[in-house]
Amino acid sequence: MQVSVEDGLRVPMPDGVTLSARVWRPDCGPVPAILEMLPYRKRDGTVARDATTHAEFARHGYVCLRVDLRGCGESDGLFEDEYSARELQDIHDTIAWIAAQPWCDGSVGIMGISWGGFNGLQVAALQPPALKAVISICSSVDRFADDIHYKGGCLLGENIGWAACAMSWFASPPDPDLVPDWRQVWQERLAATPFLAADWTRHNTRDAYWRHGSVCEDYGAIKAAVLSIGGWHDGYRNTIAHLVENLEAPVKGIVGPWNHKYPHLAAPAPQMDFVGEALRWWDHWLNGMDTGVDDDLAYRAYLMDSVAPQVSFDTRPGQWVALDSWPAGRALDLPFGTDGMGVACAFQRRIATNTFCGRAAGEYFPFGFGPGELPDDQQIDDDLSLCFDSAAFETEQIIIGAASVDLTLAADQPAAQVMVRLSDIRLDGSVGLIAHGMLNLRQREGHDRMVDLEPGIAYDVTVPLDQIAYRLPVGHRLRVAISPSYWPFIWPEAAPVELTVTAGRLQLPVQDVAPPYHGFVPPRPAPAPVLNTVLPPRERKLTWDEDGSLHLIIHGDHGETEDFDHGLITGSRLTEHWQIARDAIATARVDISWERWMRRGDWEVRTLCETRMTGDADAFEISARLEALDGQTKVFARDFHERVSR
């Protein structure tokens, strides 16, 4: 089917702002439409990926629109915050506008990964009349419990990392080829560019700020059919089970071994034909065709085999399984005792803060940018943790679901956190991470409040771990490792703490057999590339330097790419320096630098965003500097600084 492509179509909003869209339109109609709305710049940020999705859907008879959010890319207006009420209203209005166009038959689907996966679910809860189907990839139903900012009430290191990255995206100008008055637009955009780290850090409980956009507040509000997809090597691996368990609308879930990418582009293999699976969904819910999606089992997951831990995988061995309902299986109860895990008896064990614990954590969001993103052998952190080991299992254990760990513990400080890791002790002596969870102990009574601990008093707490599908072979043992710190994955408390654990148990979700599934078709051949690599990217480099303090340095040069269609060349580079002193954890610090540039001919612009987060016993110090250059001339500079109470 022939497809025409239009870049720069203006979508009018009721307040007079227009949003910029790239449209793939088949030579037939009217037909259903598929929408994706992001801040990541359709002109350059997602152009290569869009060619593998929207262009393919259009060839199968759908009008596809990739729209820049307000204040991003070539769209008018100013950006406010992620998932703001304004953003969701814009998406709602865009859906209504699409449905009214002569080339649309009135049915609309929305899809996206990460940001687009979030706002697709969120706008579905607003029930736009034309929205019939959603495909949400690597997303969350709870913005506080399971996003890039907090987990278990603990402040994630990625909170400041994401704020720096987001600022660098939002500060970029529109392309002059589509926006003639780009300099004026750029100046207005720069002046309004928010540095959101302080706001995100200030909202340190699950208050109204985080409840907004958290669809778990009312699952029943979603009426459109939802296909939820995620990956075991992604930070957002829990959403699929939550949606399958709680949605009243039609819903199916798929979890592969993937990182934070679309499943036809993700690693580790095996990948899947996402386009084909998505077309089954669109054809059924937007075109009324019987594609068999109603007969798909509710939850399809990749059951990962035990393998020696590596910081990157090309392929993850395992098999696909499928469940017809969720939750499923049974709980295996393994109490803690003096001899480890499996037989309950009285004990008392202590573990103190060690700032070096966390070196084997890997990245919260593996993207495939280079080595070092996945968790390493856990023994390096287990040596600094309180560990409970099981006996060797005489039968294979099929773990599918979310484990949890119940603990009775006391702390010697009023503020403390606990990190819990579940690992596989393999026959070769290596220790591979299965799943983890964490809890801010001041939020033990609920994530909507902070209640100080009374030092020395024992509390009963439950730490839920992430969802997983994992095959534990005969002869392997399980380990639960407990620590009061995990740098830089989570930000440490202001003072070192000693935890005293006097009871505990692991609740492990297991299946008696692995319910088989035939799996998915491999990805279809990739379309012709739309970008040319001008300067190949260099690998990320991680260096730990133990000199009384700990340093983690990450450098990623992402190279340059040139668009074959319009000649825009873009590039970026990142440097992160994380450091923590063994004897002064309150002053833990990270410096992050993002540089982005765009050029075409003799035109070139550049932005530099430098951020820092550190603190003391009472507060965090969060600062940033944003600079912009038009050619060799600095045309903008602004400093941000806030002190946020702990």
> Residue 464: what pLDDT?
98
Fold of 330-511: Jelly Rolls (2.60.120)
Could you state, in order of their start, the residue ranges of all structural domains in the chain? 3-141+219-297, 330-511, 531-645
**Residues 244-255: tens digit of each pLDDT:** 999 999 999 999
pLDDT of residue 371: 67
Q: Could you tell me which CATH number the domain at 3-141+219-297 has?
A: 3.40.50.1820
Q: State residue 209's pLDDT score.
A: 98
Tokens of 484: 């009061």
Please give the radius of gyration of the chain, using alpha carbons only, rounded to the nearest integer.
25
Cis before 327? omega within 30: yes
Which among 613, 616, 614, 582 has a CA at the least distance from the CA of 356? Answer: 582
pLDDT beneath 50, residues of the chain: none
For residue range 446-498, list pLDDT tens digits in order.
999 999 999 999 999 999 999 999 999 999 999 999 999 999 999 999 999 99
| The pLDDT value given to residue 132 | 98
> What is the three-class DSSP state of 130?
coil
For residue 32, give the amino acid letter. P
pLDDT for 537 equals 75
> How much is the pLDDT for 535?
81
Who contacts 370 (Cβ-Cβ below 8 Å, separation ≥6)?
312, 539, 540, 541, 556
pLDDT at position 514: 82
* End-to-end Cα spacing for the chain: 58
Backbone conformation region of residue 122, classed left if phi is above 0, alpha if psi is from -120 to 50, else beta: alpha
**517-557 tens-digit pLDDT:** 999 999 999 888 899 988 887 766 667 777 778 888 888 88
Could you give the CA distance from residue 254 to residue 134 in angstroms, rounded to a whole number?
Answer: 14
What pLDDT is attached to residue 370? 66
Place of tokens 């990460």: 114
Nearest to 157 by CA among 367, 437, 361: 361
pLDDT tens by residue, 260-315:
999 999 999 999 999 999 999 999 999 999 999 999 999 999 999 999 999 999 99
Task: Give the pLDDT confidence score for residue 381 in this predicted structure.
Answer: 98
CA 627 to chain centroid = 28
pLDDT for res 411: 98
